[in-house]
Structure 1
Amino acid sequence: MAVDDRVKVVRELIDIFALERYAYLAIAVLSVLTLLTSAAFQVFNGPGGDIKPLVGLFGSSGVLTLAIGRILSIWNQAFMYVTELERRKNV
């Protein structure tokens, strides 16, 4: 399979998952904003007994990790598909 054919297949797969990819990217951006806001709130208000900023830090970092993991999973599936096509063609 030529490189151009592989690129075409990956682009088609990425186009298929475009909506899901954009949703995960939006979730990742919101999580980063929440993470930075919680961190800034904690820095400017100083140490206190309130646990809410810490929940914002840990919650948003977990969601960020999940969203980035899903985005990478989509790319991994696309590349595995192309590799499988190449393997079948060579057999």
Structure 2
Amino acid sequence: MALSEPVHVTRRLGTTAQVGAIVMAEQAIDTYLDGYGRPDDRAIALDILLRDLARLRFLEPDLDGFVGEVERYIDLLYRDLSRRAA
């Protein structure tokens, strides 16, 4: 099973000390989610990203801090979806 595109971006950005890397990772996630119009589909896409990020943590333990930041952003997106659904 391949990792999703935003996770590849996260992996690439996490290995560099590039200024603004977290913002670029967030933009990759937003672009990925643009392909999912329905809230249910977006929630599933976020779940897939979290699963793939967990696999990335296993493959690249040095990226733990960066992956944690990306996961926090995904959590914010998921909470926003939940609020809109309520």
| TM bin (shorter chain) | 0.3 to 0.5
Structure with greater contact order relative to length (CA < 8 Å, sep ≥ 6): 1
Greater Cα radius of gyration, structure 1 or 2? 1
TM-score normalised over the length of structure 2:
0.46
Which has the larger helix fraction?
Answer: 1
